[in-house]
Each structure stands twice: as structure tokens, then as C-alpha cells.
Amino acid sequence: MTTDNKATMEPAKETARLEAFSDGVFAIAITLLILELQPPRLGQVSVSALLVGLAHLWPSYFAFLTSFGSILIMWVHHHAIFRLARKADAPLLFANGFLLLMVTIVPFPTAVVAQYLSTPAARAAAFFYAGIFFFLGLSFYVLLRVVLRQCTLSGPTIQRFRRGYRLGPPGYLIATLAAPLSAWVSLGICTLLWIYWGLMAMRLEPCEDDASAPR
């Protein structure tokens, strides 16, 4: 009985350090976003000038909020996917590495949008932002496929995962292609997508498939 227990615990432990490392990267990437926000530089320093200066940073606030929301929801989903993972084999390491690469990149397109959303270059900034998130959506889809090859679970949660993640790459592709027409439509689609996955995450917890699966 003890041996049995050890055998089933081992895989969980194997992915634990990978998950902890990923958590660290998520936590740092989400916190670094704030560094893009710098106090306004004022020509003339007064109470009203500072209030106006802070208000003029709205593209930075928007970029910060939508990137923060995206990374937070991605972290919740990453957690949900890793609960299905059985072993830290090479495909999982590489799929997870690709996803972490994309997550750490997020502060850069965020800074580009923050700096150029209120300028004539807004559409190029949105194009770049949505393009990066296309690869982010792709990396989640790849990670899910790698994990699902490890386990043979099926059920409503897995079906919801599949449907939800299949939406990512085409969704962000549309956002990218919409950018040359309108920066706001493009970034609006990006924002709707993480809100959608946020609502989806609400239904993933408490993950009944996982609990019912024989361990």
C-alpha cells in the first residue's frame, strides 16, 4: 500500500518544481508590468499639471490592466492544465518553456502600446501586441495538447478546455488582422478574450473530472 502510494505521488512531485518555477516567472512578469508606468514629466510643476499629466497616462493604464488581467488568467489556466500533467518529460518541458518565453515577453508589447496608443502609430502598436498574443494563445494550445497526450481523461472539463483553447490562436489572429483597421477593435478583442477565459476559469474550478479520476 505504501509502495502504491509512493508510485502515484512520484509523478506529482516530478512536475512540482516545474510548476513552482513557472509560478515564479508568472509572478515576476505580472509585477514587472508596473515598471513601464513612469511618473509624468511636467514642463511646469503644479497641482493641476500633475493631475493632467497623470490623466494623460491613460494608454499606459489600459495597457497595464489588460496585460495584468491576461497574465493572471493565464496563471489560473496554467495551474488547471498542470493538474492534469502526469510527468515532467521532454515535450512538457519544451511546451512549457515556449509558454514561459511568451509570458516573459508580455511587458515589452505592453510598453509599446502604452507609449504609442495615443499617437498616429497606434495601429502598429496594436498589431504588434495582438501578434505577440497570437503566439501566446498558440503556446497554451500546444501545452494543452502535450498534457492531454499524458493522460487519457475525458469529460466535460476536458471538453471545455479543448473548446476554450482552440479559440485562442484564431481569436488573436483576428485581433492582429483587425489592427490595421482600428487599434481599438484589435485591443478590444484581446481584452474580451481574457475576460472570456476568466469566466471559463470560474467554471473550471473546482474541477470535478480531476477529483473523480482514479489516482
Q: Please report, as ranges, the residues that interact with its own copies according to CB under 8 A.
A: 14, 17, 19-21, 23-35, 37-39, 42, 45-51, 54, 65, 68, 72, 75-76, 79, 87-90, 93-94, 97, 100-101, 104-105, 107-108, 111-112, 115-116, 119-121, 123-125, 127-128, 198, 201-202, 205-206
Indicate the SS3 state at residue 17: helix
Q: Greatest CA span in the chain, whole angstroms?
A: 75
Report which secondary-structure segment, H or E, holds 1. Answer: none
Q: How many Cα atoms sit within 13 Å of 77 on the Cβ side?
A: 31
Considering beta carbons, is residue 27 or 170 the nearer one to its own copies? 27
* Least separation in angstroms between CB 134 and its own copies: 15
* Least separation in angstroms between CB 47 and its own copies: 4
Considering beta carbons, is residue 136 or 170 the nearer one to its own copies? 136
Distances (CA, A) of 56 to 28, 52, 118: 27, 6, 9
As given in the structure block, the three cell numbers for residue 184 are 481599438
Considering beta carbons, is residue 35 or 214 the nearer one to its own copies? 35
* Least separation in angstroms between CB 88 and its own copies: 7
* Least separation in angstroms between CB 68 and its own copies: 6
Evaluate whether 75 touches 126 at the Cβ level (below 8 Å): no
CA pair distance 136, 7, nearest whole angstrom: 34
